[in-house]
Amino acid sequence: MTRSEFDDIRAHIDAEADHPGDLLRVARSLLNDLEDARMREATLRAYYLRLLTAARATVAAEAAGYPQPLTFLTDELAKRGQLPATGEVNRILADAHTAAALLACLEQSPVAVTATSGPRSRRCGGTSRSLPR
């Protein structure tokens, strides 16, 4: 859910706090969204682990002198349909260089996160949309 949707739910709860059926429906919807988010996170973690394992195996195979050390990584990328096409090679390399430069810049001067001491200011008033009844 977006921050705006959460703001809308908060406004709805504040305005309609005397209707327990509405609050129960909102709670069920939030629980469903939370479960969906947890499943997406678990799936992404599994993909990351498989890719990390393939990358480590590739480096180990090269260190051991295997004739085709990229096999592990190539197979994992192929399973996900992520092997670069011939025309994409230069764009992918440029993206990788740009990402590396951005990460290096962020590591040199990290963005400071400040904690606010008080209620969060609303970014969306939420009055233009209403939750279904």
Residue 119 lies in a domain: no
Residue 22 lies in a domain: yes
Residue 114 lies in a domain: no
Residue 7 lies in a domain: yes
Average pLDDT over residues 33-58: 94
If one counts every other C-beta atom within 10 angstroms of the C-beta of residue 91, the result is 11
Query: How many domains would you assign to the chain?
Result: 1
Within 13 A of 95's CA, how many CA atoms are on the CB side? 6
Per-residue model confidence as pLDDT tens digits over 63-121 = 999 999 999 999 999 999 999 988 899 999 999 999 999 999 999 987 666 655 555 54
DSSP codes joined into one string, 53-120:
HHHHHHHHHHHTT-S-TTHHHHHHHHHTT-PPPGGGHHHHHHHHHHHHHHHHHHHHSPPPP---SSPP
The pair of three-digit structure tokens given for residue 75, joined into one six-digit string: 């197979």
pTM above 0.75, yes or no: no
Residue 42 lies in a domain: yes
The pair of three-digit structure tokens given for residue 92, joined into one six-digit string: 């992918």
Mean pLDDT of the chain: 81
Residue 93 lies in a domain: yes
Residue 64 lies in a domain: yes
Residue 116 lies in a domain: no
Parent domain of 68: 3-108
